Amino acid sequence: MKFLDKFLLRDLLKSFRTCEIGFVLDDIQSYNKALASVRMRCYDMILALEQEEIHVELYKPLKKYKVVIFTKTKSDRAVILAKKLKEQGTIVIADMFCENLSCGSKESINILQLLKYADYVITFSKQQMKQFSEHHSHVGIIEEGVNDAFFKVKKKHEDKDKLVLLYCGYSRNAKDTLVIKDVMKELLSKYSLEILYICEKDPELKEFPYCYKKYNQNKIPQMLLEGDIMIAPRPMKGIEGLQHTLSKVAHPMAVGLPVVANPVPSYVNTPVILCTNDEEWMSSLCKLIQNKEEREKIGDISRKYVKDNYSQKRICQQYIELIQGLMRG
């Protein structure tokens, strides 16, 4: 909360200076309470762009901007504002997400309306890009970056009596770990392990014993260090048509944890250890559990991969290149 108050106060003080770029949100919330994707794609990008000495802020109605970025907006107010800005000659960038643009919902209709006024559309995945490309001729991908705070800590892998298998994510998705419930039960009987869930609330699973810690945005880099191996199981039926990014596993990778997961398309060709069945899950986890050096090696490779490809600075440069290109015409 202390960081959030500082962020919003700092943004408010920008009311008295000229800013070239404004970010529009449907609902401005505290840094810690904002949806993770909004926090990464709006708040963190404002901070990163500021570090590049670019004047940027949350959109303020009485000010003029050269570029306005609509971050995951779907309200009537956003559509009206986009139309107004377009008529004034402001460059409009739509940073969008929609499960199904053709479903006919009020939100999808508003998004389609907003696209009419956008000079460029950005989204975070190939699935979303394909969908938006059916409605706009200029669509690109800018993925979600990893906050610098995750690179300021690093997991020290050790030989110890009890290792921790970690799951971090929304509690509603924690049931995905039941995809490997038989593997979990066998591992618990074979090794001295703790299964730790870091979620916004207790997932209340009954299939095997586990520990739970409440997600704390201010402390999450340090909380991830409590794990030794990150597990990210996911049902694979229809996965090609579902939404997925590396973001879920990128943060534990950034602090140096090895990650074991199902072969979600976003994880392919990354250091994530991919498993297609219980036998592969068992083999991969046993190898990591028994070998500190292997955990350390995969953790270091994973950390470097994320830093090279998903750091805030790297993602920020993609925004800068896009904005400068649009301003040049």
Measured over the CA atoms of residue 273, residue 279, residue 283 and residue 289, the dihedral's sign is positive
CA 256 to chain CA centroid, nearest Å: 17
Q: How far apart are CA 214 and CA 240, in angstroms?
A: 31
Helix (H) or strand (E) holding 197: strand 193-199
Number of domains, the chain: 2
pTM given for the model: 0.88
The domain of 243 spans 150-309
| Per-residue confidence band for 14, with pLDDT thresholds at 50, 70 and 90 | confident
User: Confidence band (pLDDT; 50, 70, 90) for 245?
Assistant: confident
Q: Measured in Å, how far apart are the chain's first and last C-alpha atoms?
A: 41
Pairing mode, strands 163-168 and 229-232: parallel
Helix (H, G, I), strand (E, B) or coil at 24: strand
pLDDT-derived band at 16 (thresholds 50, 70, 90) equals: confident
pLDDT mean across residues, the chain: 93
pLDDT at 308: 96
The partner residues of 139 in beta bridges, in order of sequence, read 121
Q: Tell whether 11 and 99 lie within a shared domain.
A: yes
Shared domain for 213 and 138, answered yes or no, is no
> Sorting pLDDT into bands at 50, 70 and 90, what band is 7?
confident
Q: What is the CA radius of gyration of the chain?
A: 21
State pLDDT tens for residues 128-157: 999 999 999 999 999 999 999 999 999 999
244: CATH: 3.40.50.2000
Do 178 and 133 belong to one domain?
A: no
User: Is 154 in the same domain as 290?
Assistant: yes
Polymer length in residues for the chain: 329
The residue type of 268 is: V
Q: Residue 153 corresponds to which tokens in the numbers above?
A: 């800590």
Task: Give the three-class secondary structure for 279.
Answer: helix
CB-side neighbour CA atoms (13 Å) of 41: 24
| pLDDT score for 1 | 38
Q: 133 and 167, same structural domain?
A: no
Together in a domain, 124 and 182: no
Q: Are residues 168 and 251 in the same domain?
A: yes
Say if residue 161 is in the same domain as residue 111: no
Higher pLDDT among residues 102 and 237, named by residue: 102
| Residues 23, 168, 209: CA angle, nearest 5 degrees | 155
Which residue do the tokens 């994530």 mark?
272
The C-alpha atoms of residue 253 and residue 245 are separated, in whole angstroms, by: 14
Are residues 269 and 210 located together in one domain of the fold?
yes
Q: Which residues contact 283 (CB under 8 A, 6 or more apart)?
A: none
